[in-house]
Amino acid sequence: MTAFTATGRRLAAAGFLVAGLFAATLPAAAMDIQEITTPGGLTAWLVQDDTVPIVAIKFAFAGGASQDPDGKEGLANLLSATLDEGAGDLDSQAFQTRLEDLSVRIGFDTGRDNFYGSLRTLTPNIDDAFEMLRLAVNEPRFDTDAVERMKRQIVSGLRREANDPDAIAGRVWAEAAFPGHPYGRPSSGTQDSVTALSPEDLAALHGRLFARKDLKISVVGAIGPERLAALLDSVFGALPEAGELVAVADTALSPEGERKSIALDVPQTSIRLGLPALKRDDPDFIPAFVMNHILGGGSFSSWLYEEVREKRGLAYSVGSYLIPYEHAGLWMAATGTRSDRAEETLAIIQAQIARMVSEGPSAEELTKAKAYMTGSYALRFDTSDKIADQLLGLQVEELGMDYIDTRNSLIEAVTLEDVRRVADRLLKDARPLVVTVGSGAS
């Protein structure tokens, strides 16, 4: 997670724009997605919606925290926190003041495999808004005072996380799962690594990541394709054609079956466990998605929720999820419970994993899961921002425009045999990597 920047605090305090302006619903089935090509050769997906005078843009560059050099962990995260802290002739205060005057929101974030950006503006200010985005993308200042301020904020958060069992469990689990691989390094960095980062480090990573090749862009709002094309070229057209990304090797969780217990004097024990799973392009991903919903992905209906929370009251929250990184696939489960009940809780989770293999769900459970998953899909498209997020995700995962129309039918097509097959493939004889952090650990 990136630091909550000064921009975010000021906009939140000001009650940025009127919430209703960003709540226009555009049903997925009714969307007209246009793929446009700019005169400069960029491509973008556009959903033109003139019902409210706003435009939301989301974009992603290839490469994220996995591009942090060894010893400079947290660099991409710091980059995401500093790009809007001054650009061009505007220092941090002037840049932020200009954004507030225009009622424009610009933000950046980093994932493991991609670096993300966003813009949201009212259409009367669109030319000025895109100019502010152009400055942030092309001419970030990385002034020493602004960089040091953001470093202090990030280090302060890392210092708090040093006593947070959930944060510790996540970090230790990743380190154990991917030793020597970029996925095993802390994406937010460490207190020491972040403290040592410099403006020169930021400028170097910016130069390596920000390029037109593999740039994905989605836009939703009151703008036509011709005007959008010109604005996109103004923002991204001067970037180099290709970046200088370090190759990241495909990997898999290793070692399975290991248990790590970290002692921490807190009343609750945090539990993380995981197994190798599937990348997004695997033909079994949708059946695995349905299987996981029944096992632990359905918030109030899953087996884990029923067995751990409802029947025994062992945890407030428990769940599982698939993580399809670009170079690895994971299945993970997580919860927190009283330290004296941690072993019991872990045993119940592992029993449900075994049950999914030995019994599988009933026909009724599968029907209910598919009904929920297909019925709730429309909620991902009920605001401009959500629509832009979904379109960007489809591009990053290379699923194609028609996925919006075919996704529910793919879920509906999943059978009990499919669920049992994928459960056998992923969970049979499961030997998860387990990390526990709490006072009961030793």
Task: Tell me the per-residue pLDDT of 207-233, one tens digit each, with 9 for 90 and over.
Answer: 999 999 999 999 999 999 999 999 999
Residue owning tokens 């958060």:
157
Q: Which residue has the tokens 């918030």?
A: 299
Residue 60 tokens read as 């992603």
| Amino acid type, 5 | T
Q: How far apart are CA 54 and CA 56, in angstroms?
A: 7
Superfamily per CATH, domain 23-236: Metalloenzyme, LuxS/M16 peptidase-like (3.30.830.10)
Phi, psi (degrees; rounded to nearest 5) at 433: -80, 120
> Which segment of 27-36, 66-75, 146-155, 310-319 scores lowest on mean pLDDT?
27-36
- The residue written with tokens 């709540």 in the block is 23
Contact 18, 179 (CB under 8 A): no
398 Cβ contact partners less than 8 Å away, ≥ 6 residues apart: 281
The rounded distance, in Å, linking the Cα atoms of 262 and 441 is 6
How far apart, in whole angstroms, are the C-alpha atoms of residue 60 and residue 339? 41
Which residues are CB-neighbours of 97 under 8 A, at least 6 positions away? none
Answer for the pair 1, 188: CB distance below 8 angstroms, yes or no: yes
Please tell me whether the overall predicted TM-score, pTM, comes out greater than 0.85 for this model: yes
pLDDT in tens, 293-342: 999 998 788 999 999 999 999 999 999 999 999 999 999 999 999 999 99
Which two three-digit tokens encode residue 75?
A: 């660099």
Number of other residues whose CB lies within 10 A of the CB of residue 28: 17
- pLDDT band (50, 70, 90) for residue 440: low
Residue 70 has pLDDT above 70, yes or no: yes
Is residue 275 scored above 80 in pLDDT?
yes
Is the pLDDT at 5 greater than 80, yes or no? no
Architecture of domain 259-438: 2-Layer Sandwich (3.30)
Query: CATH 3.30.830.10 residue ranges in the chain?
Result: 23-236, 259-438
Tokens of 61: 């560059």
Q: Are 92 and 85 in contact (CB under 8 A)?
A: yes
pLDDT per position as a tens digit, 120-157: 999 999 999 999 999 999 999 999 999 999 999 999 99
The CA distance from 236 to 137, in Å, is 8
> Three-state DSSP class for 391?
helix
